[in-house]
């Protein structure tokens, strides 16, 4: 993929447009300024809110432990001081690459000399009868979280249960928060275990036991037939085996789809995400992409799309550097976290293809870590309430150092 001309962002009248005012877009905007760009910078968000933190939405925000001010990443006046123009409620309809313009939903257009696509992702919906009911919700935005919080309050007040469809991080975090509020919860997972794509079977079983110990009913290998709707509200979830689970609220946590339609319609290379190199460059020399919408091409040809704060932040900085004509490849070891009840899971590396798992510590008494190996080499470490192990694991993986399984244990 070709790099941008070095001088373009510094030319008089240069204008860098950033589509998406989340973590990746904000980081790109600030990195452009700190990197010396004198171009005009416009940050376009399709929500009515200034940039805010998303991770607390399924945890502290739902639990009522943080308010809107604490969610805020940057106030508009702070961005203005950096000469970054924030435009909220400004969805983009199309990209005209021939004239280097973005076309907005309000009919206006902005010319760009450099364009950052940080469009994020959208929660998947399920093709189920009744899934359009008003109390069947997904969680991605602050407004989504407000709607779920209202739904949980109603469940509390009326003694109604929550049904979570999907045993991934979002679903389990919402389930844990609901149990803290005393709401009855059932989690339905189509796969034979929780978090099957990201955790070892040992850790999946541990999380199942953790949730059951807090009163969550788990149904693994669950097949859903439909949602029973009355007066516009889902009243029950009907399973393929005929069981009906009553509900006051249904939360879907079945993954996300990258928002790559703008890029695809503009003729950029797209493959389950906007295809970028390690510096965030797309197939157009004036356009970069970062965050959940971007699929990074690895040296072996595979594509890697990560959904994490670290990835969004670092890809945003790499994309900004590319617009400045610099090389700042993002190759760092990925890391993630999840808070459920009083347990913090911290993950370093990618466990895909791991064929050996070694336990350090005690599953029963904690803290503990699971070191995962592929062909005898350390590829990932999952730590629960073991921050020191997590930091050590990141250093080991970053340095390419692989302790033996015996040393890890």
Residues pairing with 340 in the sheet: 343
Q: Which residue has 């399973």 as its token pair?
A: 239
Rounded Cα–Cα distance for residues 284 and 100 (Å): 11
Quote the CA–CA distance of 353 and 374 in Å, as a whole number: 6
Per-position b or e across 69-89, b if 16+ CB within 10 A of its CB: eebebbebeebeeeebbbbee
CA separation for the pair 7, 17 (Å, rounded): 17
What is each CA distance from 285 to 4, 291, 354, 366, 403, in whole angstroms? 5, 18, 37, 50, 42
Sign of CA dihedral 292, 88, 263, 139: positive
With contact defined as beta carbons under 8 Å apart, do 280 and 318 qualify?
Answer: yes
Pairing of strands 287-289, 114-117: parallel
The alpha carbon dihedral of 41, 276, 330, 324 has a sign of: negative
- Local structure of 202: helix, strand or coil: helix
Distance, in Å, from the CA atom of 284 to the CA atom of 8, rounded to the nearest integer, reads 14
Nearest to 361, CA basis, from 402, 393, 394, 336: 393
The CA distance from 369 to 357, in Å, is 10
Instruction: Fill in the DSSP letter of residue 200.
Output: -
In this structure, the strands spanning 40-44 and 15-19 are parallel
Radius of gyration of the chain (CA): 22
Longest Cα separation, the chain: 67
CA distances to 63, 145, 148, 343 from 153, rounded to whole Å, are: 10, 12, 9, 24
CB 253 within 8 A of CB 170: yes
Give me the tens of pLDDT residue by residue for the chain, a chain 409 residues long: 433 433 333 455 799 999 999 999 999 999 999 999 999 999 999 999 999 999 999 999 999 999 999 999 999 999 999 999 999 999 999 999 999 999 999 999 999 999 999 999 999 999 999 999 999 999 999 999 999 999 999 999 999 999 999 999 999 999 999 999 999 999 999 999 999 989 999 999 999 999 999 999 999 999 999 999 999 999 999 999 999 999 999 999 999 999 999 999 999 999 999 999 999 999 999 999 999 999 999 999 999 999 999 999 999 999 999 999 999 998 889 999 999 999 999 999 999 889 999 999 999 988 999 999 999 999 999 999 999 999 999 999 999 999 999 999 8
- Residue among 210, 123, 209 at smallest CA distance from 165: 123
Query: CA–CA separation, 27 vs 23, rounded Å?
Result: 6
Write the Ramachandran bin of 30: left for phi over 0, alpha for psi from -120 to 50, otherwise beta: alpha
Q: Count CB-CB contacts under 10 A for residue 190.
A: 16
> Given this model, what pLDDT does residue 11 score?
58
Q: Which residues 6+ apart lie within 8 Å of 297 measured at CB?
A: 275, 276, 277, 278, 303
Interatomic CA distance for residues 134 and 232, integer angstroms: 6
pLDDT of residue 6: 38
Question: Which pLDDT belongs to residue 192?
Answer: 97
- Distance CA(30)–CA(83), nearest Å, equals 10
259 is written with which tokens? 């928002």
């Amino acid at each position: 993929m070709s790099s941008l001309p070095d001088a373009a962002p510094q030319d008089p009248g240069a204008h860098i447009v950033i589509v998406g005012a989340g973590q990746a877009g904000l980081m790109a905007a600030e990195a452009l300024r700190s990197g010396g760009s004198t171009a005009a910078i416009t940050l376009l968000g399709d929500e009515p809110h200034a940039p805010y933190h998303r991770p607390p939405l399924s945890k502290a925000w739902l639990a009522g432990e943080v308010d809107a001010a604490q969610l805020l990443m940057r106030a508009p006046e702070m961005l203005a001081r950096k000469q970054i123009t924030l435009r909220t409620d400004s969805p983009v309809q199309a990209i005209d690459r021939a004239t280097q313009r973005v076309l907005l939903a309000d009919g206006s257009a902005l010319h760009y000399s450099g364009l950052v696509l940080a469009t994020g992702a959208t929660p998947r919906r399920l093709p189920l009868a009744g899934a359009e009911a008003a109390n069947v919700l997904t969680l991605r935005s602050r407004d989504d979280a407000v709607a779920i919080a209202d739904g949980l309050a109603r469940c509390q007040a009326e003694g109604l249960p929550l049904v979570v469809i999907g045993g991934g991080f979002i679903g389990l975090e919402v389930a844990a928060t609901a149990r803290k509020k005393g709401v009855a919860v059932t989690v339905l997972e189509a796969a034979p275990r929780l978090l099957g794509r990201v955790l070892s079977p040992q850790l999946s079983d541990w999380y199942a036991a953790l949730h059951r110990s807090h009163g969550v009913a788990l149904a693994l290998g669950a097949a859903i037939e439909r949602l029973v709707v009355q007066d516009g509200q889902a009243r029950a979830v009907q399973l393929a085996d005929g069981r009906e689970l009553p509900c006051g609220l249904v939360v879907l946590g079945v993954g996300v789809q990258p928002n790559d339609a703008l890029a695809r319609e503009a003729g950029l290379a797209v493959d389950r995400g906007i295809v970028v190199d390690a510096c965030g460059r797309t197939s157009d020399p004036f356009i970069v992409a970062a965050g959940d919408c971007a699929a990074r091409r690895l040296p072996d040809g595979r594509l890697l799309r990560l959904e994490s704060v670290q990835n969004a932040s670092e890809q945003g900085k790499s994309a900004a550097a590319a617009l400045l004509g610099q090389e700042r490849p993002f190759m760092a070891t990925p890391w993630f976290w999840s808070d459920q009840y009083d347990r913090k899971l911290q993950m370093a590396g990618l466990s895909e293809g791991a064929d050996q798992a070694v336990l350090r510590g005690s599953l029963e008494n904690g803290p503990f870590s699971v070191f995962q190996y592929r062909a005898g080499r350390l590829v990932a470490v999952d730590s629960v309430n073991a921050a020191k192990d997590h930091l050590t694991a990141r250093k080991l993986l970053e340095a390419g150092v692989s302790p033996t399984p015996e040393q890890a244990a």
